[in-house]
Amino acid sequence: MGQCFGILFSRFLLELNTTTVVTAWIFNLYQFLYNMTGPVLGPLVAEFGWRNLSFVNSLVLSIGTITSAFVSSPYTLFLTYSLLGGIGCGVLSNISYLIVPHYFKKRRGIANGIIMAWDCGGQFFGAQLIKILQDEYSFVGATLILGGIILNCCVGAALFHPVEWHVKNKSLAVKTTDREPSSIEETSRSKQEQNIESTPKAILNVLLRLLRSTVADLRILKSARAIVIALSTTMTFNGYLNYVALVPFAMQETGFSLGDAATCLSISAICNIVMRVVIAALSDTKCFSYRFTMMASSLTVSGTFTLLNDLTWLKVAMAVWGCGVGTYNGIFNLVMIHYMGLNQFIPTFGASLFVTGFGYLLIGPLAGYVRDLTDSYAKCIWVLASVSFSSFLLWLVMPLAVIFDLRRKKDETHEKKCSSGGQI
């Protein structure tokens, strides 16, 4: 939904002469709510389970898409697309990132690459599908069909089984952590049974637990490594996703068709998919460097932000750009495990999305304001390129962040020993 925003709504918004600032706010509010599901996702999963949460939000996303077909004003999209779509899609997508590492110990990189690849499969298939559907059935018909397709997510949600259900020899079942699928399902059921007799009190208790867990997870930002990861994710995601959203608008204004824009996005998606799988597989090798890979991908993405007048060269640029984006996305969650450990993965993931979400309230609208002020998409794209380049600069200082955290840990350990010795 996010990566096909421009293809889905560009004709509709251009016909209404919607300003770039309003368009940017619609898209970036969607991304803000998408990312705000990150900090509360761990506590929500602990309360309700992977499958229940995924199923409900599949319905929310489908309803948001279907109701978007009947809007007559761009401001209504703030409710149907930004609110319902952002929350629904955010929960579904982020759950898919979180659940994979718990199901795979060996070949985790390849498994992660596959799920990451299909994350951008929507951009590859969706761009062309939406364009064809809009040509055949208009904006309303195409959006209704898309909402029906999204309902199939309910089927996928039903397949999030606890892994022990499929282990033949139960004595060989791997012990799970308190946040893995099986224990989460059991915890969810037991809590539901305990609270079924006092629903109002149960709801209040759930909200309080969610708040406490969310605040506890955000404390991970005391780590310098977590701050670098969170800020890098913020700059990269804000830069490239706003670029994807604006490309169809910019290309149509330049004289290209919506079909040309869909083709460019599909080309970038193909390269994105390939690089996600390749890089994720390479991450299983001993000589793989996460930091160098993140630096190279950030530099590639920022260096290929462009809007050329020649369609052939524009396709080439989008292909290279897609390779950079795919490289970053292929391991961005594995980087968190590499630097922070699996035990701190969910808090780091949630905190990164929290920071990234607030970035959408600033960076995207700023780019839209630059476009309206200068009447130039090129200058708008330069702003987004600069944002992405800052991610490269952040990874330069990661070794310093690692050293800082190690020294702080040693100091804390020394203080504890001194205090315990004083008590004795």
Whether this model's pTM surpasses 0.85: no
Would you say residue 169 lies in a domain? Answer: no
pLDDT of residue 174: 46
- CATH code of 347's domain: 1.20.1250.20
pLDDT of residue 423: 53
Would you say residue 332 lies in a domain? Answer: yes
Would you say residue 303 lies in a domain? Answer: yes
Would you say residue 310 lies in a domain? Answer: yes
What range does the domain containing 251 cover? Answer: 5-163+174-420
pLDDT of residue 417: 75
pLDDT of residue 96: 79
Residues of the chain with pLDDT under 70: 109, 112-113, 116-117, 163, 166-199, 202-203, 307, 420-424
- Tally of structural domains, the chain: 1
Q: Quote the mean pLDDT of the chain.
A: 84
Q: How distant, in Å, are the alpha carbons of 241, 261, 263, 311, 323 from that of 251? A: 16, 6, 11, 10, 21
Would you say residue 258 lies in a domain? Answer: yes
